[in-house]
């Protein structure tokens, strides 16, 4: 069994890694599905179901991931890497930031309710009543998802501040993947226009 201080370092570093991944996926999603008319036109011009499928894959995956970070410490006899697990270790060490972090946890759990409902009834499981009735689930919002991620970020940095460790800036994340795809599609659209213009007969 690890000492609490060693366990804290391990747990907070691994949660940081998972949160960084989550921010990365959210950033890619925002790059592709935003209010930028040029990007909307590029995707519409492709005229493929691929981007509709990708939209739902992003939401499915991101919802499951953010809920997983806030799940209970245990599922059956298996211990989970979660914020409640982190709080458990913080309690063992009696850190001064404990009450602040618990308050943030309550705020997160309230915002997370519709995400958990969607995760449990439609994404991670197919709830029979939900799948076979006309009932609709509450809409989950990107702004709420980002708020939850930012609150988890604050929890990690509260611990870092108390331990005199550098804070993590999750806002500094790569947009390369989504931007590269958009640039390829943009070039493809321009090439398509060139070909069409060449084929138009001149009189």
List, for residues 100-153, the tens digit of each pLDDT value: 999 999 999 999 999 999 999 999 999 999 999 988 888 999 999 999 999 999
Mean pLDDT, the chain, integer: 89
Q: Which helix (H) or strand (E) holds 77?
A: none
Is the pLDDT reported for residue 172 higher than 60?
Answer: no
**What number of CA atoms fall less than 13 Å from residue 131's CA on the CB side?**
9
**What number of CA atoms fall less than 13 Å from residue 71's CA on the CB side?**
18
């Amino acid at each position: 069994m690890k000492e609490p201080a060693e366990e804290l370092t391990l747990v907070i570093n691994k949660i940081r890694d998972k949160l960084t991944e989550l921010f990365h996926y959210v950033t890619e999603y925002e790059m592709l599905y935003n209010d930028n008319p040029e990007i909307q036109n590029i995707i519409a011009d492709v005229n493929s179901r691929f981007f509709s499928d990708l939209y739902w894959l992003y939401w499915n995956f991101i919802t499951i991931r953010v809920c997983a970070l806030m799940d209970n410490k245990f599922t059956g006899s298996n211990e989970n890497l979660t914020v409640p697990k982190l709080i458990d270790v913080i309690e063992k060490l009696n850190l001064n930031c404990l009450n602040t972090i618990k308050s943030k946890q309550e705020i997160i759990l309230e915002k997370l309710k519709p995400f958990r409902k969607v995760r449990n009834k439609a994404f991670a499981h197919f709830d029979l009543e939900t799948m076979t009735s006309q009932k609709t689930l509450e809409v989950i919002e990107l702004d709420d998802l980002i708020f939850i991620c930012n609150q988890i970020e604050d929890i990690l940095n509260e611990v870092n501040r108390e331990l005199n460790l550098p804070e993590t800036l999750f806002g500094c994340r790569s947009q390369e993947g989504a931007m590269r795809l958009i640039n390829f599609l943009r070039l493809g659209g321009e090439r398509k226009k060139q070909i069409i213009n060449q084929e138009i007969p001149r009189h």
